[in-house]
Amino acid sequence: MAKSRFDTGGGPSQRQLRVGELIRRTLSSVLAQGDIHDPDLNRMSITVGEVRTSPDLKVATAFVLPLGGDGKQDALDALRRNRHELRRAVSKELTLKFSPELRFQIDETFDRMDETRRLLNEEKVQQDLASDRTED
């Protein structure tokens, strides 16, 4: 059975990855420069960890985290409130056919890494890892 050109094959295409990274860099720059006319948003330091785009590149989801991890909901509210101005600022910097709709979610990567690290340091897991090494 032949694949259509709209099949994602389970993962993002090279184009999606490239555009997502361009949007991430541009969005990070816009937020760092304080170009948005919202004093609440300009007071925050927000890290843009990743941007994922839809296959048609019309929707971009930015995974963000305020510096230090405090005030997550306030940061999300400020970004969502200013999404149209952020969209204009990003599209002004990029040469895309369509200006993608921006959506924002909290980046939980660091929380998952901390949880994984905690699990790996548990005594039972350490015992299992030690017994695996002795069996080799």
Asked whether 62 and 133 are in contact (CB, 8 A), the reply is: no
- Report the pLDDT value the prediction gives residue 4, as an integer from 0 to 100: 47
Residue 35 lies in a domain: yes
- Report the pLDDT value the prediction gives residue 126, as an integer from 0 to 100: 75
Asked whether 65 and 47 are in contact (CB, 8 A), the reply is: yes
Q: Which domain holds residue 27?
A: 14-107
**What b/e sequence results for 104-125 when a residue is b if at least 16 CB atoms lie within 10 Å of its CB, and e otherwise?**
bebbeeeeeeeeeeeeeeeeee
User: Does pLDDT of 105 surpass 90?
Assistant: yes
Residue 2 lies in a domain: no
Residue 124 lies in a domain: no
Residue 130 lies in a domain: no
Residue 115 lies in a domain: no
Task: Give tens-digit pLDDT for 30-82.
Answer: 999 988 889 988 888 999 999 999 999 999 999 999 987 788 899 999 999 99
- What is the average pLDDT value for the chain, to the nearest integer? 84
Cut 0.75: pTM above it: no
Mean pLDDT calculated for residue range 102-126: 76
Cβ burial, residue 100 (10 Å; 0-12/13-18/19+): buried
- Report the pLDDT value the prediction gives residue 102, as an integer from 0 to 100: 95
- Report the pLDDT value the prediction gives residue 67, as an integer from 0 to 100: 85
30, HSE (Cβ side, Cα atoms, 13 Å): 24
Residue 59 lies in a domain: yes
**What is the rounded distance in angstroms from the CA atom of residue 34 to the CA atom of residue 70?**
19
Q: How many domains does the chain have?
A: 1
CATH code at 97?
A: 3.30.300.20
